[in-house]
Amino acid sequence: MARWSALAWMAFSIPHAVLAAALGPELPTMGGALVGGAAFTAILAFAQGRRARSARGGGRLLVAAAPYLALIGLILVTRLAPPLRDALRSVEVRWAFAGEFGGTVEPLYHPGTMLFIAFLAGALAQRTGGRAAAGAMLLAGKRIVAVAVTLLVMLTLARTLVVAGMTETMAVASASAAQSAWPLLVPALGALSSFITGSATASNVLFSEFQTGVARELGNSPTQALSGQTVGAAIGNTVSPQNIVAGSATVGTVGQEGAVLRRTAPVFVAALVLAGMLAFALQR
């Protein structure tokens, strides 16, 4: 089991690192998962002597993966072709509220637009009828309401802390208390917040501004601080009760959440210590 786990890790991590170095931050997670998943599945099938079945299933797998493949293609084309990229980014929608808040959205370049186009491409590739596609969109819209409410609350809280000056005050106090040892704690804060909220996204929304504020106070790199925050948030997901319950329900092991936590807790601690040491070393 340990060897297969190590192989699965390598199958994901190597494509992830290559894509990150070559294409930037938008593609590695999904691209690494697709390439790594395909590679690991092929290796597992051949190791178990199921070559013929694997070959027959390859075509079905490509059709099933059509939305993800379309999304990867869209990201590559829109990010790596300067003329197209500049044309898409030239369309902007600006907004402002109460004279204090505002921003700019590039609708044609936005990842959400790419996701919607990829959904339509997947529906065409899978020969999904218009009624079925519309029904899927409606069902997804209903399910996303709870997520949207949670994110709205998190965003509102995070921006309130920033505008009220509370984030800056906490950053100054933390920098003064921890001094040069703070980078060791950066992943731990990200892990703690994702453990509580069950979401790395929520953790980053709440604490990214705080982490960069502390980094600036200490003269450290804000980019490295955000990296540590994101890594810690991802690590915290491994022991988040919400995620363990959801995962157990997915694979039919409801009632065994405690056993899952006992398995993931040592990995969580080891990964968090390693992440803290790495964050500290990179900030020196």
In a domain, 175, yes or no: yes
Query: Average of pLDDT values for 11-37?
Result: 81
Predicted pLDDT at 56:
55
Query: Which DSSP symbol is given to 198?
Result: S
Single-letter code of the amino acid located at 270? A
Check whether 53 has a pLDDT greater than 60.
Answer: no
Which residue, chain included where needed, has tokens 């969109």?
A: 137
Q: Take residue 280 and report the two structure tokens written for it.
A: 């500290």
In a domain, 27, yes or no: no
Q: What is the span of the domain harbouring residue 244?
A: 155-284
Contact between 202 and 194 under an 8 Å Cβ cutoff? The reply is yes
Candidate from 7-11, 159-163, 208-212, 226-230 with smallest mean pLDDT: 159-163
Please calculate the CA angle 256-234-193 and round it to the nearest 5 degrees: 85
In a domain, 7, yes or no: no
In the chain, how many domains are there? 1
Query: Average of pLDDT values for 164-173?
Result: 80
DSSP string of 233-267?
Answer: HHHHTTT-HHHHHHHHHHHT-TT-HHHHHHHHHHH
Please calculate the CA angle 69-27-188 and round it to the nearest 5 degrees: 135
Query: What are the C-alpha distances in Å from 168 to residues 130, 207, 224, 252?
Result: 50, 11, 18, 45
Predicted pLDDT at 275:
92
Closest CA to 195 of 258, 238, 162: 238
DSSP string of 46-87?
Answer: HHTT-HHHHHHHHHHHHHHTHHHHHHHHHHHHHHH-HHHHHH
In a domain, 277, yes or no: yes
Predicted pLDDT at 272:
92
Beta-carbon count within 10 A of 51 CB: 11
CA distance 122 to 116: 10
pLDDT band at 49 (very low <50, low <70, confident <90, very high): low
| Packed helices 130-163 and 200-218: angle between N→C axes, nearest 10 degrees | 30
pTM for this structure? 0.68
In a domain, 276, yes or no: yes
Q: What is the mean pLDDT of the chain?
A: 82
In a domain, 184, yes or no: yes
- Across 26-30, 38-42, 139-143, 211-215, the highest mean pLDDT is recorded for 211-215
Q: Which of residues 143 and 269 earns the better pLDDT score?
A: 269
Positive or negative CA dihedral for 170, 231, 236, 75? positive
In a domain, 178, yes or no: yes
Check whether 50 has a pLDDT greater than 60.
Answer: no
How many percent of the chain have pLDDT more than 90? 7
In a domain, 193, yes or no: yes
Beta-carbon count within 10 A of 221 CB: 15
